[in-house]
A and B are shown apart, each in its own frame.
Chain A
């Protein structure tokens, strides 16, 4: 069974631009969570989607948004990029059990210049 895949793996954007990241969960998993990982703040929860509905949301500004499609694939979007948005963005999928039973993808490294 394939693991969680994230595309692209690396991305460089300019301040003010927007970006869309994609996550394909493990086959059969309906829950997808997104995290931002930075050296200063560590791993911080962005949001979780389950069956195309946002189930949980972290404490991030409205520039960060996401969605989930009927095939459980998820995208997150960051608009009006700031330098501080440079981070590793991790996606985790869950098979429908408690949120802690999740499997992480390798992440997308976003660099904002």
Chain B
């Protein structure tokens, strides 16, 4: 499949451990944030989102934390599984119809 990126930071975690992936965003006026997962050979897939009026949102095995003071976003994956191995991107959006701005991505490698 396609190589998503050769220069990405990589996070290696043991299967069953929790993973934390971090992202610094650029625009303090951004009001919506999304995490995407991209597996080899596929396009990015939506994981979870959060609005700027929240600081935490939970999904199934995933939690997103937003710290607007330092413009920082994190994705926590509980009980990481081999199927979680992928590249993870954060994206920010300001006012609905402007384009998404993506972070550079982090490669998550799960060690079985």
Interface of A toward B, CB cutoff 8 Å: 4, 33, 35, 37-40, 42-45, 48, 55-56, 58, 88, 90, 92, 98-100, 102-107, 109
CB-nearest residue of chain B to A38: B5
Give bound CA distance, A39 to B104, whole Å. Answer: 9
- 30 pairs from A and B in contact (CB 8 Å cutoff): A33-B99, A35-B102, A38-B5, A39-B4, A39-B5, A42-B5, A42-B103, A42-B104, A43-B44, A43-B89, A43-B91, A43-B105, A44-B102, A45-B101, A56-B97, A56-B99, A58-B99, A88-B2, A90-B43, A90-B44, A98-B32, A99-B93, A99-B97, A100-B34, A100-B91, A103-B46, A104-B44, A107-B42, A107-B43, A109-B2
Residues of A within 8 A of B8 (CB): 39
Contact A106 B89 (CB under 8 A): no
Given contact pairs A55-B97, A104-B45, a sample of 6 additional A-B residue pairs in the complex whose CB atoms are under 8 Å apart:
A35-B102, A99-B97, A100-B91, A100-B93, A106-B41, A107-B2
Sort chain B's interface into a size bin: 20 to 34
B6 located at the interface, meaning its Cβ lies under 8 Å from any Cβ of chain A in the complex: yes
CB-nearest residue of chain B to A42: B104
Q: Chain B interface secondary structure, helix, strand, loop or mixed? A: loop
Residues of A within 8 A of B44 (CB): 43, 90, 104
